[in-house]
Amino acid sequence: MEQAYKLLAQSKEISNKKAKELIDRGLVFVGDRQLKIARASVPDSTIFRIEMPEDITILYQDEEMVAVNKPAGIDSYEVQDAIEGAELLHRLDRDTSGVLLLGKSERYIKEAIKAFKQRKVLKEYVAWVEGVVYEEMEITAPIHTIKKGKAFSKIDERLGKPAHTVVTPDEVQGKKSKVKIVIHTGRTHQIRVHLASVGHPVVGDSQYGSRTRAKRALLHARKIELLGKTFSAPLPADIKRYK
């Protein structure tokens, strides 16, 4: 037995630091299971598979802003670092793919941040969730986020902040449902915790109760409307069709 990151480093001929980083980013798999703990003890015969995320695709760009299609497996700040002179206007979770907006001019950044604060932004997502969703749901449970270490959100009537999510069914495959989601607020992990709270966690989202194995939480930011412009990202293969 050996610690996973050390064995990965040996088998792929990379540094221990690089191996640990790959595991922490959720890019290392053993069979169909994502390896989540770099220091976990694994058999010496373990065969690792590294799945690097797709390249960042620019959807639209002008002198004031840039819209990109963020692939799953990349942190939003990695996108910011990759685009010189651009500043994130919002964030997507590492596992979430889809439209991500960055500002390039001070004027645009101020206007965009103001629009986000005033909730004048339309944000539409698509996800596969556990269970069968038969009809539209409007979820308004308040959300409280604990940010010590890895962020975690929960429904909390006393400490929570207002949150508003609308979920519309689109397709059913077996005991899984594909849904459209529109959020009118932007709380940390809002979609994930709201869906989990009504018994329909996002498929692959083990943090919020999904028992289905998947390479990632199957959530995609399909469209954002901001300051008179609409930006859309095509559905990736794992969202377009489940299995």
Active site positions, annotated: 93
Amino acid at 41: S
**In this structure, are residues 103 and 63 in contact, taking their beta carbons and an 8 Å threshold?**
no
Cα 226 from Cα 121, distance rounded (Å): 5
Residues in CB range of 120: below 8 A, 6 or more apart: none
CA 242 to chain centre: 17
